Structure 1
């Protein structure tokens, strides 16, 4: 029987190496015109004084955009800023030839908001975190 491998916490350099190797592997299995597509796309909304009151952080990868964070200052919610951010990233996704947008949210955040904006629930993890649900959404881009 082989010896058990030693598993250690990796440092930043080792993490970068592992990420690079997986990206190289993935590139061999993705159409060439998509293999190098990776781009951060971040949007902000500012008030008249220049203060950031909302934003959307996302990554374009291959043929989709993943929205990682959408946030609007609590006092500014319900004014359409979140929907405006979604519409902007959808426009960008279309311009860049993406076929869908994916994102996730928790039950204590905004699943109804995404449904209202035509995002389709594709998965849910119950009790993640305990007492809440973790939702995954997708919207096709035409």
Structure 2
């Protein structure tokens, strides 16, 4: 069998690979699920000023991105998105939420809302820390 060179995946290629892994996983873990839950806040001009991208996998939610535009920070929008994600997680019977953040981003923000640090990678990126956090919902 002859393979071509490795190439950068398209979005469709990435979706295919993700779905194939989900298919494989569901053969080994009953009640498998993968559902993207993406939220955003818009201002009165319909511009996105904050957003949260996440996925529910089996019995947890994994938050990939929580972002608030610099002009809208310190106004409770991140909190609102986090609370909505937690509400959805509980409605979908998730046991916990996990996420990661960097020391120059928001570890203290997440700790304020009950997230516990479960791992830290030093010097990632250079001179910073990469935090992994978890919040139990049960």
The alignment's TM-score, normalised by the length of structure 2, stands at 0.86
1:30 counterpart residue number: 29
1:71 counterpart residue number: 67
User: How far off its partner does 1:18 sit?
Assistant: 5.1
CA RMSD of aligned residues (A): 2.1
Distance 1:7 1:109, change over 3 A: farther
Question: Where do 5+ consecutive residues of structure 2 fail to align?
Answer: none
The alignment's TM-score, normalised by the length of structure 1, stands at 0.84
2:41 counterpart residue number: 45
Q: Which has the larger radius of gyration?
A: 1
Moved over 3 A (4+): 10-22
2:119 counterpart residue number: 123
Write out aligned runs for 1:87-126 (5 A). Answer: 87-126=83-122
Distance 1:81 1:16, change over 3 A: closer
> Which SS does the other structure have where 2:24 is aligned?
helix
Q: Which moved more, 1:38-47 or 1:8-17?
A: 8-17
Q: Which residue of 77, 80, 88 corresponds with 1:81?
A: 77
